[in-house]
Structure 1
Amino acid sequence: MLGLVETRSVSPVFVGRTEELQTLNDALARAAAGEPQALLIGGEAGVGKTRLVEEFATAACRAGAVVALGGCVEIGADGLPFAPFSTALRALRRELPDQLAAAAAGQEEELTRLLPELGEASGGRHDEEGMARLFELTARVLERVAADRTVVVALEDLHWADASTRHLLAYLFRTLRTGRLVVLATYRADDIHRRHPLRPLLAELDRLRTVRRVELARFNREEVGRQIAGILAAEPDPTQVDDIFERSDGNAFFVEELAVCATEGCGTGLTDSLRDLLLVRVEGLPEIAQRVARIVAEGGSTVEYRLLAAVAWLAEDDLIEALRAAVNANILLATPAGDGYRFRHSLVREAVSDDLLPGERSRLNRRYAEALEAGPALVPAEERVMRLASYWYHAHNAAKALPAVLDASVEARSRHAYSEQLRLLERAMELWDTAPEDVRDQLRPIDYTEVYPPCGCDPATTPLRYVDLMAEAAVAGRLSGERERALKITKRALHLLEDEGDPLRAAWFWTQRSMLVQSQGRGDGWNELATAQELVRGLPPSEVHAEVLAAVAGWSMLRAPGPDAFHAAERAVEYARMVGARETEMNARLTLGGLMVDAGDADAGLAAMYEVKERAVEDGIAYVAGRAYVNLPSELDSVGRSREAVPILEEGIVYTRRFGLLNSEAWVWANLSNSLYALGRWDEAAEAAENTLRWGRNAKPQGTGAMCLAQVALGRGDVAEAARQLDGAHGYFGTHDPMPQQSLPLSCLAVGVAAAEGRLLDARAELARVLTTDLPPGTQDYGWPLLLTAAVAEADARAVPAVARGRAEALERLREAAKKTTTGAPVWLAHEQWVRAELARAEGRDTADTWSDVVTAFECLDRPYDLARVRHRLAEALLAAGGDDERDRATELLRLAHAVAGHLGARPLADAVALLAQRARLALNHVPEQRPADPVEALGLTGRERDVLRLVAAGRTNRQIAEELFISPKTASVHVSNILAKLGVSGRGEAAAMAHRLSLFPPEDADRLIAG
């Protein structure tokens, strides 16, 4: 790989940078130990960033690492998207062909977007996850290649990076998890002005603790002297060092230029102008070499020799001599492969390019474009379209530039480089009016757009319209995250369509606006969808019509499930089938199945969802399959079939990760967390929730993960942590678009936290706020836990006088809400019984029979924590009833509940069970405790009489003793009479005095019993 490390410095001596190089070497050592490293190297132009990377790369190669270099091209959006990554991956493929092939196995079609050598790219779906999918697969390929060897990926000149390259680099820096990998990037710090697109990325990466920043300072005088000595191969004159140090201000590149000028005799007469300093050695070249340098400067970062020959219009011998002069002067360099030329330093290229006259620049670009059209093989195939578009655009030839730019936008789209696609489409819109009409008439939507809304005309024969470009640009803006620009485009498009009588196109744009409004946090998007629905009402079936109805059904399923949503989903399925829109049909079928489950037809709805999942996986429709892996298990969990959901979710994690469906994967983790919680696998549930927070890129699944962590914390008695996670979940979800599946669980947790902190009035207020309107249909999955949490809070506080006022109203509110909440599945029938039992307990009228029915309902469900809780309540009711048979049954129930609570770490439940067992004198394990000799036994007292005497000694009345020991007052009186007879005393006071005198009960025992 040493041959790939291109040296561009004239100084044979590497000066200074000891600390910076140590940082890089330390990162290499950490990577070799299996900890991926991310570094950013910044500094002004010419300060020595490239030389530092060269030295590090050489050292890394000698240490056995594989180094892959890639550079960003200066022409930004006009260049090939992901160019530095493509170059780096190509280098890896050259050095490690078998390893890269194995790492990319099965995903070649997708990775071809970065590395065309892997094969043919498939069309694929262009959606919000397309670019993220490519990024995830790229990260996994790098991790696999670096699994057994240290790999360094170095990307230079990040300040020129296209948006897609910046996004991919940020993704790698955030998500690299394993592998012996170093990823570093360099950038010009002095170029990063306030509005530079790299600035937000740098700010974001600064917040990542895993990214190290290296800032290169200028050289001091001593270092300048050592650099000059290396260039001159002799000790420089101190006066010369002082002069060069003063004029260069310690900039390494300027030091080189000044030192070389001094040795070549061109140092006299130099001005202090930076531009003059950069051009002085170029102007010292022969005229023909200067001309070639100007041509190379306008051709791009690197110009292929054959393309240069076609543009220069020189005899081959003359061209070679001109190039030799420029290379010997260290102004141009041959590329490592020997097939092209580039400037040794980009500062010189910029100076030469800036020195061109406007007409001269246009003429050179026109010659480049004409040469490339005449000889397409002059440049690599993957670069041809982009470079031709750039050349024609800068040649100011609208007739040629418009189709070329549109071709380039299609190429960008095929690579999931949506930011570049958007910029190119905006450039096409800029060129539209200046391009000749006959040129525009030759353009066809089918060639340039994938979002052409069918409107009864044939896109193969209908000319491309300006509004079609706007449609494609709106989608590109949405997919690239440039949603503000996309919103402006849709607004302009709808304004243009106002007088055209084209309801399908207008409906399509309104649907886009709905998605953009939601993603921008400006509302729930319903007004836009309703407008689209109204526009297509009564029109014949079409793809747009089906998409609008599917969007309406999907929106309603999450926010307002009911008959209207069901009807929209049915029509979407029907219309999509009629027009052959298979993906839309399957997507709508999935929604319809979920709505069927929510409406109570669980078996039919789940069967439909299973079918969609299997067909989507079989047919390779990744987007629908990813959604099925989210929605199907969610619906299974909602009807109590969590055990069935877990293997599907685990399969979904593998599937979504394989296809890079990051948003779907985050939802799968969140849903897995919920299912594991229900099954009593709390540690695994918390781990799944942490994975949602760690790897999720979307706020809403992360909010669900935070809610599950809050639920586990609350169940384990860590109320402070539950409150913290609840606050985090509120932050993830925001306030602009409330959905029942988020707002109801949030309220449930809020009620639970408030009750645990003794704030019952706050809990009541939260419940009253939620129940100002009826719970939406189909939300019983979230409604019953909320009602139950509130009912338990009221029952637990029944003996607290401070909150007695308002209890009757709160209980009635709960009772009325319970009447209106669906109970179609066994799990929700069981919850209904539980809620009603808690309401009875809150009023002091629950019985063993009440709780026995609830326990029976939960014993057939996979809800171990819920079963343990209701068993505890049944045991409490049985002990209150008295009787030996009841005590035996209560003992077994408490033992079972205590075992579950201990396994889960559910401390509040475990403490409640232990306290109840202690007060009832029940052993929670089957092995009787070995007690030392007890003086109480010597007095002939039974175990029950012992407990009664302890309470007598504490001053309890017979009624209080009965309440504490779950016996009747009459039975307590009989026990007291027996105790007085056995002790030979005449009254309760004497019995208490004897107990104290004989120290029959340690003070802490009495205190603990009294506190209990």
Structure 2
Amino acid sequence: MFVGRVSEFDTLNDALARADAGEPQALLVGGEAGVGKSRLLEEFAAAARRRGATVALGGCVEIGADGLPFAPFSTALRHLRRELPDQLAAASSGQEEELARLLPELGAGAREPRRDEQGVARLFELTARLLERVAADHTVVLALEDLHWADASTRHLLTYLFRTLRTGRLLVLATYRSDDIHRRHPLRPLLAELDRLRTVRRVELGRFNRDEVHRQIAGIIDREPDPQRVDDIFGRSDGNAFFVEELAVAADEGCCAGLTDSLRDLLLVRVESLPESAQSVARIVAEGGSTVEDRLLAAVARLTEDDLIEALRAAVNAGILSPAPERDGYRFRHSLVREAVSDDLLPGERSRLHRRYAEALEADPTLVPADERVTRLASYWYHAHDAAKALPAVLDASVEARRRHAYSEQLRLLERAMDLWDAVPDDVRATLRPLDYAEAYPPCGCDPATTPLRYLDLMAEAAVAGRLSGERERSLKITKRALRLLDEEHDPLRAAWFWEQRSRLTQALARGDGWAELGTAQDLVRGLPPSEVHAEVLASAAGWSMLHRPGPDAMAAAESAVEYARMVGAHDIELNARLTLGGLMVDAGDIETGLAEMYEVKERATELGVDLVVARAHVNLPSVLEGIGRSEEAAHLLREGVHITRRLGLLDSEGWVWGNLAESLHSLGRWDEAAQAAANAQRLEQSAKPRTGGSIRLACLAYDRGDPAEAARRLADARSFFGTHDPMPQYALPMRTVAIGVAAAEGRLPDARAELLAALDTGLPPGTQRYGWPLLLAATTAEADAHGEAETEPGRPEVLRRIRQAAKSLATSVPVWRSFDQWLRAELARAEGRFAPDEWSAVVEAVEPLGRPYDLARVRYRLAEALLASGAGDDERARATELLRLVDAVAGHLGAAPLARSATRLAQRARLALAPAVREADRGPADPVEELGLTSRERDVLRLVAAGHTNRRIAEELFISPKTASVHVSNILAKMGVSGRGEAAAVAHRLGLFPAQAGERLAAR
């Protein structure tokens, strides 16, 4: 009889209904041991199946003190594969090798790529997408039991699913023991984190009241119970469902042990009433893990087949053991009884049983599922207290954990191996090889096939596992300890490797910028023969310098890294270094050569399947293109990059791509799309730096749209993500640029000057011109806008002098940088009280070909202002009027409220009409072209766009340059509020702008 749980069952049914409607649900069910979590889950699963849902049940597996990596997910996915084979096959198509880390049946085995920080994220993302696809048209309940036993990798994956699932008819349900979650239990911080998610609901199961206990007892003994006995059992059990059952059965059978006050005795009473052979089997099962396979149990019990069956039947009939639902084996019906039986064993008895399990499994590895074999063997030997046998087994288990991206478990196993190290005889250690166990083995000039595994090799592998699992503090401690050991021996390559790791960890933990550590590593490898460590150190140094101090030293490091990587055949290091080298070439002014190098790396990495370099190419190459003003080309690559990084499950890379796409779309005047891209960069919530980029872009958009308060808030977000430990120019300079604009907009010119001077005191390194020019322009604009205010005048000459001095150090080798140079000169003149129409006219001419509608509108406004301020005649006034109409149209389309207001006020002061006046009597049907604000030349260009002509063909038709044609097309798209040429053509045809042209095409068809 299922008793009580009405409100809890309603909550689960409500979640199922929501999931069935396409809204993914997540629930955590907690309660003390024995309170009825499993029974509630069983009843709900049966109800869900009756409603047509597929229920995939997986349980966290306890093997001694070890959790099996991803065990509940592997079991649940295996269930889905049986229940929905076609859907799972379609959902996993193309990603079988990676997903085989969770479900080996999907492939022969995952390939072993070079490890990286995004390996786990990639696996998690692919798992989330797999579940969403399987649940796209069929309701799926993913139920995970005993989360208190979950390994770290399972906890991390579950958290990821709870945070990222957005689509699909999916309900994820997990249970845990609340009374086991002590202050230091690893599940505790996870529960605290999930409590902050509005998408996760918690259900806490309480104990039964007296009426519910009465009904439970009646169901157990199949008759109405004596009220006094109900009172007694309710008082002693305190409403715990499992204790109620044990007390009721004991009392009904007249067992005196039912009267004891000892919980342990209560749990053991039915075990001790079994025949001795059944008790022995129960003790064996208690030490085998959560579930023990039938054949393994037979090998360990060493009973005849008939005797074993008789013992098992007695234990099952007594309600002690039950057949395992997912495999041929047995488990305790309740884990509390298993724990009591295990605790009742003597220490020697326990280790002897573990030895028998290990020996049986070594003799016949097929006794357990293949994906559990090495982990269970390692646990059995470890708990058998046989160090010589345990060390190789633990190391084998660490390799399996690494293969599955279960780096937290790998780290724990490696730490266990380091604890065992000194207890293992030398002759046993001499048989172990680094290539078998330590992928992070740093070369030291020895042959790894013949050189014995060293303690330092384990430390190297543990340091990487700690970094990849997010246990950076532990990894840093291991790294520091390894370097102390290396102080006692001369091994520069190994020491350099650890220093390079320490640099990464220092940056990740916000303890510094990591350059000092990289400098030490470079000193150690200097003058040594080529090696992979040497190439890695140089590549890291080049990458660091590109982001912090680009220049000749960075270029030299990148070139050396490429050379060394080629010598030793390290293709991924070579491609990474070449990508860095290409970006540095562009920064140095060798534009086309650098871009060609980066494009070649992108193609080569795609060909070789070096996923991380492919992803990085779709981040760095578009960033470089944006920096030199080729925003349309950058946006195209970034759109491609979104699909590639999402397919590969590289979340950090996808965050970078979205942030860079937001910047390019901002430049192209597609601000709504830019805001969405920036929000996507933050939504992924991976490392801080991609989120910093998204916040900076949102701050820029808010400022340009006239909301300085929102810009300041977004800027504060960016600074909180970015921190102060690693002042990279690509973030520090844009943040200061936004801060200058916000301070000026709020009338805080001294604060704006302070931001500028802080940036100039730090310096504008070579290669930072893409950030330096906007910074100087923002500061100069603030000074020019404040011209004439007495309180701001005293410091202006020095500020302008510093700006001019800084501008001399910035490159002007591409059109966008030259246009900023001219723009800055014109703003400097304005800041000094001089209006220079000729200078502003040159600026407009320089900005027109760039395809940046907002920048073009800004300089057109300044030109109109200069024309009107210089006492212009009728021709100049007419030109100013046309310029302001263009500015007003673009500002209105973009939502650039400050620019629109400025254009309107300037026109009002000059008594200019931004919209041509039309007498009511002469007003005819509205001209769609005029309503769109298109000039006559733009009408001609739109006609040719609608006909499907390219910019080059338009230029030939209208006798203009292709660049001018491109500018006209960009203006047309902005005024029409469309995102591309095809959409512009569609709007033109819908409005009937060119009926003759449409008729000609119709006749042609």
TM beyond 0.5: yes
Give the secondary-structure state (helix, strand or coil) at the position aligned to 1:857.
Answer: helix
Take 2:64 and 2:10, find their aligned partners in 1: how far apart are those partners? 32
Residues 338 and 484 of structure 1: is their aligned pair in 2 closer, same or farther, counting only changes over 3 Å? closer
The aligned residue for residue 129 of structure 2 is 140
The aligned residue for residue 862 of structure 2 is 873
The aligned residue for residue 78 of structure 2 is 90
Q: How far does residue 647 in structure 1 lie from its aligned partner after superposition? A: 1.2
- RMSD (Å) for aligned C-alpha atoms: 1.2
Give the secondary-structure state (helix, strand or coil) at the position aligned to 2:271.
Answer: coil
Residues 823 and 243 of structure 1: is their aligned pair in 2 closer, same or farther, counting only changes over 3 Å? same
Determine which of 274, 280, 295 is the counterpart of 2:284.
295
Q: How far does residue 930 in structure 1 lie from its aligned partner after superposition? A: 5.0
Q: How far does residue 850 in structure 1 lie from its aligned partner after superposition? A: 1.1
Take 1:254 and 1:606, find their aligned partners in 2: how far apart are those partners? 72
Q: Which runs of 4+ in 1 moved over 4 A?
A: 929-932
Q: How far does residue 926 in structure 1 lie from its aligned partner after superposition? A: 3.8
1:293-336 CA-partner distances (Å, limit 9, x unpaired): 00000001000010000000111101000000000001100112
The aligned residue for residue 905 of structure 2 is 915
Determine which of 908, 925, 934 is the counterpart of 2:915.
925
- Which residue type is aligned with residue 512 of structure 2? G
The yes-or-no answer on 1:665 pairing with 2:618 is no
Q: Is the 8 A contact 1:76 1:160 kept in 2?
A: no
Give the secondary-structure state (helix, strand or coil) at the position aligned to 2:600.
Answer: helix
The aligned residue for residue 997 of structure 2 is none
Take 1:583 and 1:298, find their aligned partners in 2: how far apart are those partners? 46
Give the secondary-structure state (helix, strand or coil) at the position aligned to 1:265.
Answer: coil
Determine which of 102, 116, 121 is the counterpart of 1:114.
102
Q: Is the 8 A contact 1:258 1:267 kept in 2?
A: no
The aligned residue for residue 959 of structure 2 is none
Take 2:468 and 2:116, find their aligned partners in 1: how far apart are those partners? 6
Aligned length: 920
1:945-972 CA-partner distances (Å, limit 9, x unpaired): xxxxxxxxxxxxxxxxxxxxxxxxxxxx
The yes-or-no answer on 1:39 pairing with 2:27 is yes
Give the secondary-structure state (helix, strand or coil) at the position aligned to 2:761.
Answer: coil
1:403-435 CA-partner distances (Å, limit 9, x unpaired): 111101000000000000011111111111111
Q: Is the 8 A contact 1:77 1:162 kept in 2?
A: no
The aligned residue for residue 38 of structure 2 is 50
The aligned residue for residue 903 of structure 1 is 893
Determine which of 300, 306, 326 is the counterpart of 1:311.
300
Take 1:584 and 1:803, find their aligned partners in 2: how far apart are those partners? 53
Q: Is the 8 A contact 1:717 1:907 kept in 2?
A: yes
The aligned residue for residue 944 of structure 2 is none
Residues 313 and 901 of structure 1: is their aligned pair in 2 closer, same or farther, counting only changes over 3 Å? same
Determine which of 519, 532, 535 is the counterpart of 2:524.
535
Q: How far does residue 512 in structure 1 lie from its aligned partner after superposition? A: 0.4
Determine which of 849, 865, 873 is the counterpart of 1:883.
873
- Which residue type is aligned with residue 223 of structure 1? E
- Which residue type is aligned with residue 693 of structure 2? T
The aligned residue for residue 811 of structure 1 is 800
| % same residue | 76
The aligned residue for residue 321 of structure 1 is 310
Q: Is the 8 A contact 2:64 2:289 kept in 1?
A: no
Give the secondary-structure state (helix, strand or coil) at the position aligned to 2:259.
Answer: coil
- Which residue type is aligned with residue 85 of structure 2? P
Q: Is the 8 A contact 1:365 1:395 kept in 2?
A: yes
Which stretch has the larger CA shift, 434-443 or 880-889? Answer: 880-889
- Which residue type is aligned with residue 893 of structure 2? H
Residues 243 and 809 of structure 1: is their aligned pair in 2 closer, same or farther, counting only changes over 3 Å? same
Give the secondary-structure state (helix, strand or coil) at the position aligned to 1:281.
Answer: helix
The aligned residue for residue 978 of structure 1 is none
Q: How far does residue 929 in structure 1 lie from its aligned partner after superposition? A: 6.5
Determine which of 675, 684, 687 is the counterpart of 2:673.
684
The aligned residue for residue 963 of structure 1 is none
Q: How far does residue 102 in structure 1 lie from its aligned partner after superposition? A: 0.2
Q: How far does residue 508 in structure 1 lie from its aligned partner after superposition? A: 0.2
The yes-or-no answer on 1:390 pairing with 2:368 is no
Take 2:339 and 2:473, find their aligned partners in 1: how far apart are those partners? 33
The aligned residue for residue 935 of structure 2 is none
Take 2:369 and 2:619, find their aligned partners in 1: how far apart are those partners? 42
Q: How far does residue 931 in structure 1 lie from its aligned partner after superposition? A: 11
TM-score (norm 2): 0.91
Take 2:854 and 2:115, find their aligned partners in 1: how far apart are those partners? 44
What pairs with 1:589-668 in structure 2 (closer than 5 Å)?
589-668=578-657
Q: How far does residue 222 in structure 1 lie from its aligned partner after superposition? A: 1.1
1:134-161 CA-partner distances (Å, limit 9, x unpaired): 0000000000000001100000000000
Residues 337 and 686 of structure 1: is their aligned pair in 2 closer, same or farther, counting only changes over 3 Å? closer
The aligned residue for residue 194 of structure 2 is 205
Take 2:254 and 2:565, find their aligned partners in 1: how far apart are those partners? 78
Give the secondary-structure state (helix, strand or coil) at the position aligned to 2:331.
Answer: strand
Give the secondary-structure state (helix, strand or coil) at the position aligned to 1:597.
Answer: helix
Q: How far does residue 543 in structure 1 lie from its aligned partner after superposition? A: 0.5
The yes-or-no answer on 1:790 pairing with 2:779 is yes
Q: How far does residue 862 in structure 1 lie from its aligned partner after superposition? A: 1.5
Give the secondary-structure state (helix, strand or coil) at the position aligned to 2:393.
Answer: helix
The aligned residue for residue 154 of structure 1 is 143
Question: Structure 1: 5+ residue runs without aligned partners?
Answer: 1-12, 933-1012
The aligned residue for residue 414 of structure 2 is 425
Take 1:627 and 1:734, find their aligned partners in 2: how far apart are those partners? 23
The aligned residue for residue 820 of structure 2 is 831
What pairs with 1:328-339 in structure 2 (closer than 5 Å)?
328-337=317-326, 339=328
Take 1:165 and 1:927, find their aligned partners in 2: how far apart are those partners? 70
The yes-or-no answer on 1:360 pairing with 2:362 is no
Take 2:917 and 2:275, find their aligned partners in 1: how far apart are those partners? 103
The aligned residue for residue 980 of structure 1 is none
Give the secondary-structure state (helix, strand or coil) at the position aligned to 1:541.
Answer: coil
The yes-or-no answer on 1:27 pairing with 2:15 is yes
Residues 767 and 252 of structure 1: is their aligned pair in 2 closer, same or farther, counting only changes over 3 Å? same
Q: Is the 8 A contact 2:18 2:24 kept in 1?
A: yes
Q: How far does residue 728 in structure 1 lie from its aligned partner after superposition? A: 0.6
Q: How far does residue 818 in structure 1 lie from its aligned partner after superposition? A: 1.2
TM-score (norm 1): 0.90
Give the secondary-structure state (helix, strand or coil) at the position aligned to 1:860.
Answer: helix
The yes-or-no answer on 1:379 pairing with 2:364 is no
The aligned residue for residue 842 of structure 2 is 853
Take 1:581 and 1:751, find their aligned partners in 2: how far apart are those partners? 45
What pairs with 1:276-291 in structure 2 (closer than 5 Å)?
276-291=265-280
The aligned residue for residue 761 of structure 1 is 750
Give the secondary-structure state (helix, strand or coil) at the position aligned to 1:212.
Answer: strand
Q: How far does residue 234 in structure 1 lie from its aligned partner after superposition? A: 1.5
Q: Is the 8 A contact 1:305 1:341 kept in 2?
A: yes
Q: Is the 8 A contact 2:57 2:79 kept in 1?
A: yes
Residues 685 and 877 of structure 1: is their aligned pair in 2 closer, same or farther, counting only changes over 3 Å? same
Q: How far does residue 802 in structure 1 lie from its aligned partner after superposition? A: 2.6
Q: How far does residue 125 in structure 1 lie from its aligned partner after superposition? A: 2.5
The yes-or-no answer on 1:447 pairing with 2:436 is yes
Take 1:672 and 1:262, find their aligned partners in 2: how far apart are those partners? 72
- Which residue type is aligned with residue 436 of structure 1? P
- Which residue type is aligned with residue 295 of structure 2? R
Take 1:173 and 1:564, find their aligned partners in 2: how far apart are those partners? 46
What pairs with 1:522-601 in structure 2 (closer than 5 Å)?
522-601=511-590
Determine which of 471, 481, 486 is the counterpart of 1:492.
481
- Which residue type is aligned with residue 127 of structure 1? D
Q: How far does residue 807 in structure 1 lie from its aligned partner after superposition? A: 1.5
Q: Is the 8 A contact 2:251 2:258 kept in 1?
A: no
Give the secondary-structure state (helix, strand or coil) at the position aligned to 2:423.
Answer: coil
Q: Is the 8 A contact 1:784 1:821 kept in 2?
A: yes
Q: How far does residue 895 in structure 1 lie from its aligned partner after superposition? A: 1.0
Give the secondary-structure state (helix, strand or coil) at the position aligned to 1:70.
Answer: strand
Take 1:155 and 1:779, find their aligned partners in 2: how far apart are those partners? 51
Q: Is the 8 A contact 1:79 1:387 kept in 2?
A: no
Take 1:248 and 1:773, find their aligned partners in 2: how far apart are those partners? 70
Which stretch has the larger CA shift, 143-152 or 891-900? Answer: 891-900
Question: Structure 2: 5+ residue runs without aligned partners?
Answer: 923-1005
Take 2:904 and 2:921, find their aligned partners in 1: how far apart are those partners? 19
Q: Is the 8 A contact 2:250 2:258 kept in 1?
A: no
The aligned residue for residue 162 of structure 2 is 173
Q: How far does residue 76 in structure 1 lie from its aligned partner after superposition? A: 7.2
Q: Is the 8 A contact 1:270 1:276 kept in 2?
A: no
